């Protein structure tokens, strides 16, 4: 029987558990300085076509969203997202707990459209009192959306164009990115996402890994580093070799067709 209740009905793919058991007694340094993490970074950079990208490893989606959003925003800024966005509906005020408001916008089938975003930003700056209001400091989208819908490349390009016009970063929540990249007929790839987004993350927790999300900053010279923020908020995973030992088998298992997702996420060696 197939169960579609949620993404968390089982622990992890057996290949991942075998890998964790095999490497469990190895002595490796923490804080992402071990060889496994470096191998994972290299694979992710290669898959994204971003050799200079920063890659940070975190545990779960809510922690990742809270860390990235807090790192990108100044105290007087908020994050623009659709009303159905995960950060607005299902993270129990995690973003607000960090001192930032979620600026909810209308959606169509769970998706944010460039015309909606541009209309909102135009109206915001047309208000003579905007200096007294929470400033939209970034844009959040997810792919797939909370409705299971997918963005097209053209739609992402249009959103990114508006963000660049107004000088605000675009962040893509990739908790279920593996499903989106593997979807039939999609024209959205990791290199496309990396070229359009200022920050995004590649989810492992919801696609069969035991845990783990990889935050990618394609052009770190523009956005800076989020690593101090992840440590400050307690979201930094100390035993990082476990993270990479958990993620690297996803590559091989995905490529054999036994693992949900797509080989472009955890590329084969």
Q: Higher confidence at residue 121 or residue 266?
A: 121
Average pLDDT across the chain, whole number: 87
User: 240 φ, ψ to 5°?
Assistant: -75, -20
Which of the 8 DSSP states describes residue 33? -
Q: For 203-207, 217-221, 261-265, which range has the lowest pLDDT when averaged over its residues?
A: 261-265
The domain segmentation of the chain, as residue ranges, is 14-255
Q: Specify whether the backbone of 65 is left (phi greater than 0), alpha (psi in -120 to 50) or beta.
A: alpha
| pLDDT value of position 207 | 87
Integer Cα distance of 230 and 64 in angstroms: 8
Among the listed residues 197, 196, 191, 186, the one whose alpha carbon sits nearest the alpha carbon of residue 265:
191
| pLDDT value of position 29 | 87
| pLDDT value of position 223 | 54
Among the listed residues 124, 126, 195, 190, the one whose alpha carbon sits nearest the alpha carbon of residue 157:
195
| pLDDT value of position 1 | 83
Tell me which fold the domain 14-255 belongs to. Answer: 3.40.640
| pLDDT value of position 252 | 44
Prediction pTM value: 0.86
pLDDT tens-digit readout, 166-208: 999 999 999 999 999 999 999 999 999 999 999 999 999 988 8
Among the listed residues 93, 173, 180, the one whose alpha carbon sits nearest the alpha carbon of residue 141:
173
Structure tokens given for 141 = 């989208």
Beta strands 213-217 and 199-203 are antiparallel
On whether the CB atoms of residues 168 and 136 are closer than 8 A, the answer is: yes
Integer Cα distance of 235 and 218 in angstroms: 21
Structure tokens given for 59 = 């545990």
pLDDT tens-digit readout, 67-88: 999 999 999 999 999 999 999 9
């Amino acid at each position: 029987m197939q169960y579609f209740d949620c993404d968390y009905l089982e622990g992890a793919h057996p290949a991942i558990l075998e890998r964790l058991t095999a490497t469990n007694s190895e002595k490796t340094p923490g804080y992402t300085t071990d060889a496994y993490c470096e191998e994972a970074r290299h694979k992710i950079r290669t898959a994204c076509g971003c050799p200079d990208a920063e890659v940070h490893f975190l545990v779960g989606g809510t922690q990742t969203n809270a860390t990235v959003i807090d790192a990108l925003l100044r105290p007087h800024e908020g994050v623009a997202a659709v009303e159905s966005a995960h950060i607005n509906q299902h993270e129990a005020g995690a973003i607000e707990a960090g001192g930032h408001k979620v600026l909810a916008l209308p959606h169509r089938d769970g998706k944010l459209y460039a015309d909606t975003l541009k209309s909102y930003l135009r109206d915001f700056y047309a208000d003579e009192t905007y200096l007294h209001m929470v400033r939209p400091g970034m844009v959040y989208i997810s792919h797939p959306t909370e409705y299971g819908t997918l963005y097209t490349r053209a739609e992402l390009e249009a959103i990114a164009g508006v963000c660049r016009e107004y000088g605000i970063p675009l962040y893509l929540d990739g908790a279920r990115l593996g499903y989106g990249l593997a979807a039939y007929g999609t024209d959205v790839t990791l290199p496309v996402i990396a070229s359009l987004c200022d920050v995004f993350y590649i989810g492992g927790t919801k696609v069969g890994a035991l845990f783990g999300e990889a935050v990618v900053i394609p052009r770190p010279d523009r956005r800076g580093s989020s690593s101090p923020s992840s440590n400050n908020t307690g979201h930094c995973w100390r035993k990082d070799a476990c993270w990479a030992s958990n993620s690297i088998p996803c590559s091989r298992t995905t490529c054999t067709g036994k693992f949900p997702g797509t080989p472009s996420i955890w590329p084969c060696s």
